[in-house]
Amino acid sequence: MRIALYGYGKMGKAIEQAALAKGHEVPLKVGSANAGTPPVACDIAIEFSRPEQALANMRLCLEAKVPVVVGTTGWYDHLNEVRALVQRTGGTLLWASNFSIGVNLFFKLNRYLAGLMDPHPRYSVHIDEVHHVHKLDAPSGTAITLARDIDLKSQRYSHWKIQEQGQEPPAPVPVPAPIPVPIRSERTGDVPGKHSITWTSPEDRIIITHDAFGRQGFAAGAVVAAEWLHGRQGLFTMEDVLGM
């Protein structure tokens, strides 16, 4: 495939290397200097730019009838707008808060655990996420997805809220009084991404964690998603790619 890359920072460069290693071409790399360049003569686009640029890039690709894989986060308030754009253009778009295969398996584990914990109100939950200092959105899209999935599987939680570092987790949550899932965000060094879900009772604690060692897992997953998306039409997520 001939891949257009929108966003050519560290993540974009990692995706380029992953794509080239699998025999694909990357004839177009779009950064701030050539923003707005359409994906002419490309089979698919992969978008890993910035939240304020993502919508314009999606629109550019959909109007050009080029399928686009979107890894940028921080734009999800506009998801209905994007869904309508896909329908209007008859286009193809796949979005995910995280393209790592391991993280998507972690999402499934989180949903399963949340369902198991829901009947046990002595346990309260919170999410911790740590990323590099250059990540613009906080909490991360991955943390928001984790919170959303707890919300879907629990009668005791609804939506999410930021919790300050060092603040004590909430007390056990009785039914029926749903509260937001607390998320603690930290930005430090060059951490690729670490997410933990903690369920705490007065007697014990259960923690599940995904800790990324680098950007390679995200990049490889984005290329897998692009390969899967080629030739399809509609709006998809990573769950479609993995059959989850």
- What single letter denotes the amino acid at residue 238? M
Cis peptide bond prior to 176, omega within 30° of 0: yes
Extract the tokens encoding 84: 């309508």
- Residues 69/91, Cβ–Cβ less than 8 Å: no
The first and second tokens of residue 91, run together, are 């286009």
CA-CA distance, 186 to 203, in Å (whole number)?
Answer: 27
Specify the residue for token string 């060059």: 190
For residue 27 the two structure tokens come to: 């004839």
Separation of CA 109 from chain center: 16
Query: Rg for the chain (alpha carbons), in Å?
Result: 19
Q: Which residues are marked as active site?
A: 131, 135
Distance (Å, whole) CA 73 – CA 135? 10
164: left (phi over 0), alpha (psi -120 to 50) or beta: beta
* Sheet containing 124-131: order of strands: 157-162, 179-187, 124-131, 194-200, 205-211
- Token reading at 131: 């990323």
